[in-house]
Amino acid sequence: MTHSGKIPIAVFGSGRGSNFQAILDAAQRGDLPGISFALVVSNNSDAGILEIARANGIPALHCSRKSYPDDAAFEAALLEALRSHDTEAIVLAGYMKKVPPGIIAAYRGRILNIHPALLPRFGGQGMYGIRVHEAVLASGERESGATVHLVDEEYDRGVILLQRRVPVLPGDTPETLAARVLEAEHQVYPEALRRFVETMVHHP
């Protein structure tokens, strides 16, 4: 697959893939001229994100730790898949597993993630999905939002690239807040990716 001067991106996800769809839509609108989609990886063979990839002619790979005898074999297989697809940056879009340390090392500074809260608060191990919004509501915060950050060895700790704030409204439930934050995710991720790729030096 030629990338004609664009940065080949691999996307990792475990679920429905709405953030990936938002990034794809931005690319199809011409808002992400600097990227091409090299590969989509999911640990979940029936994840919606793999269906979205297939529907858009993007290589879709089910790759789960469960299919390998040990961490090293899983990491090697994932690294080989990334390299054989010329991957130069990784976008985590609802990926619920830890990225193996060898992948973080190989792509240090070039792995992005989206978190449904205003990091550094309401992040870290165990803070994902509806629990994040329950914690925000319980805290009495008047604002929440979405954060795009670089990924390192710790959950949700890397450099923050971009955030988008949303109000917490009276009467919000975790579900209504989650929906408002998800809309912000779909705006902030494509924009963060566009800016990030502009800063990257292309290593052909």
Write out the binding residues for ligand GRF, residues 89-108 only, by CB under 6 A: 93-94
Q: Which of 7, 18, 58, 100 binds ligand GRF (CB under 6 A)?
A: 18
Q: How far is the CB of 114 from ligand GRF (least distance, A)?
A: 5
Q: What is the distance between the alpha carbons of residues 183 and 105, in angstroms, rounded to a whole number? A: 32
| Cβ(109)–Cβ(37) below 8 Å | no
Q: Which of 9, 10, 11, 13 binds ligand GRF (CB under 6 A)?
A: 13
Q: What is the distance between the alpha carbons of residues 105 and 102, in angstroms, rounded to a whole number? A: 5
**Helices 18-28, 48-55: inter-axial angle, 10-degree rounding:** 20
Compare residues 115 and 194 and give the one whose CB is closer to ligand GRF.
115
CA 4 to each of CA 7, 37, 57, 102, 152: distance values in angstroms, whole numbers, following the listed order:
9, 12, 17, 28, 29
Compare residues 8 and 17 and give the one whose CB is closer to ligand GRF.
17
| Cβ(127)–Cβ(117) below 8 Å | yes
Compare residues 39 and 114 and give the one whose CB is closer to ligand GRF.
114
Q: Which amino acid is at 42?
A: S
Q: How far is the CB of 72 from ligand GRF (least distance, A)?
A: 26
Q: Identify which range of 2-10, 33-41, 70-78, 114-122 contacts ligand GRF by CB under 6 A.
A: 114-122
Q: What is the distance between the alpha carbons of residues 123 and 71, in angstroms, rounded to a whole number? A: 25
Compare residues 103 and 188 and give the one whose CB is closer to ligand GRF.
188
Asked if 185 interacts with ligand GRF (CB under 6 A), we say yes
The residues that are catalytic are: 115
The residue ranges that bind ligand GRF (CB under 6 A) are 13, 15-19, 93-94, 114-116, 182, 185
